[in-house]
Amino acid sequence: MPNIPSNINGVTVEFSPHVNKDVDLNIINALRVIIKPTIVSGHNLNKIYISSANDQHKLPSRHVQGKGKAVDISRINGYKMSLFYPSNPLVKSIVDAIQINFENTPFRRENFGPHLKKKLGNNHPINGHGDHIHLSVN
């Protein structure tokens, strides 16, 4: 499997030190569609922080079960979602746009975050995910 690149469409991708970047190509392709500097008008996306990819979650998480089919994004332009969502307009608008746009990617499966909690396009109530976006693919 390929590694998540450190730059997607001009947006810098930072990683938590323990992250295994080796993931399914479908998750990278989804990121290439949604992660771009112009994702929203009025704000520039220049950096995301991936706190988890093909690693460290316990089963039945898609991170492990699907063999690299999920990523967690926890910071936008260096701002931790745990501290700056929803109070910071840049963080809120970009997080919301990432989740909304992910729904339009071809292999989207789980889309859990502060704005949406969806699985295969359906509402899927789940605890947590106020401080990061979890995206997974089939």
Residue 72 in the binding site for Zn ion (CB under 5 A): yes
Span of 16-24, 36-44, 71-79, 82-90 interacting with Zn ion by CB under 5 A? 71-79
Residue 110 in the binding site for Zn ion (CB under 5 A): no
CB of 70 to Zn ion, least distance (A): 5
Residue with tokens 């889309």: 111
Q: How many residues are listed for the chain in this entry?
A: 138
Residue 24 in the binding site for Zn ion (CB under 5 A): no
Encode 96-107: b = buried (16+ Cβ within 10 Å), e = exposed: bbbbebbeebee
Angular region, 37: left φ>0, alpha ψ -120 to 50, beta rest: alpha
For Zn ion, the closer CB: 72 or 96: 72
CB of 67 to Zn ion, least distance (A): 14
